Amino acid sequence: MVGPLNDGLPSLVTAAHELKSPLALMRQLALMLEDGGLSDDEQKRMLRQISLTSERALRLTNDLTRSIRLSEALFTLEPINPQQLCEDIIHELEPLFAAHGRNVRVASRKHPLLLVANRDLLRRIIMNFSDNALNYTDINTTIEIKVGSINSGKTIRLGVRDYGPAMPINALKLLRGKLAYAPTTIHARPNSSGLGLYIAGQFADAMNGKIGVIRHRDGATFYVDLQASWQLSLL
């Protein structure tokens, strides 16, 4: 049985809505393939789009399951090199981004940083932000993942910067609300339910971190702040 994410939240409706888009896309692509009349290259491209879309939908369902079971599960927090983790994520996401005509890269750093997190949850947060950036960024642009320290080095910030149409002030306010609270009803949002961000916020909470957004003139940076590890200073 699938239970609500939290009391009073329209979780099933939100999750169902979020899954509708990839399912509808896969259905349309499959029907067009059935209709025929496509070149071999076009058929291959559409099949690739179906598989990539199904992977995105499966990521969401996996995140949902993980989110619902978060309170029951025991998970370890360990020192993690965020730069390395982000590079691994990029390796995984590159085919999806390339298929959409976008690039993704990690901004390089001279000095390595370490943070305290659960590898799986942090990976899911960054994947989620990257997926979000893919939706919002313009074609032929590069999404950048940045790792930096704030708060005199006590906090490590991982941010995913997208370059899309500038977000209107009212949309930003709505988004800030989404980052702090549960998903709103489907009628209240400009594009998505905010379910992915909500789940990312849950994962960050579980690691004593927080997520946020910084608005830029031509896009946004979604970030997660986590506690720095002091292991490096002991070396």
Partner 1 sequence: MKKTPILIVDDDEWLAEQYKRSLNSQGYDVTIASHAIAAIQLVDDIHPSAIILDVLLTGSTAFALLHELQSYSDTGDIPVIICTNLAGDLSIEDLKPYGVRRILDKTKMLPSDLLVALRSVLL
Q: What residues make contact with partner 1 under the rule CB under 8 A? A: 17, 20-21, 23-25, 27-29, 31-32, 35, 42, 46, 49, 53, 100, 135-136, 138-139, 164-165, 167-168, 171, 186-187, 189-192
- For residue 125, the minimal CB distance to partner 1 (Å) is 21
Closer residue to partner 1 in complex, CB, 27/44: 27
Minimum CB–partner distance for residue 18 and partner 1 (Å): 10
Residue 2 vs 166, nearer CB to partner 1: 166
Q: Tokens in use for 111?
A: 């000095």
Nearest approach, Cβ of residue 11 and partner 1 (Å): 18
User: At closest approach, how far in Å is the CB of 109 from partner 1?
Assistant: 30
Residue number, 53 or 128, with CB nearest to partner 1: 53
SS3 164: coil
Spatial separation of the C-alpha atoms in residues 135 and 194, rounded to whole Å: 13
Question: Shortest CA distance to 53 belongs to which of 95, 105, 103?
Answer: 95
User: Which of these, 39, 21, 23, lies nearest to 31 by C-alpha position?
Assistant: 23
Between the alpha carbon of residue 65 and those of residues 4, 18, 59, the distances in Å are: 11, 14, 10
The residue among 84 and 135 lying less far from partner 1, judged by its C-beta, is: 135
Dist CA 216 CA 233 (whole Å): 34
How, if at all, do strands 210-216 and 155-163 pair? unpaired
Between 3 and 36, whose beta carbon lies closer to partner 1?
36
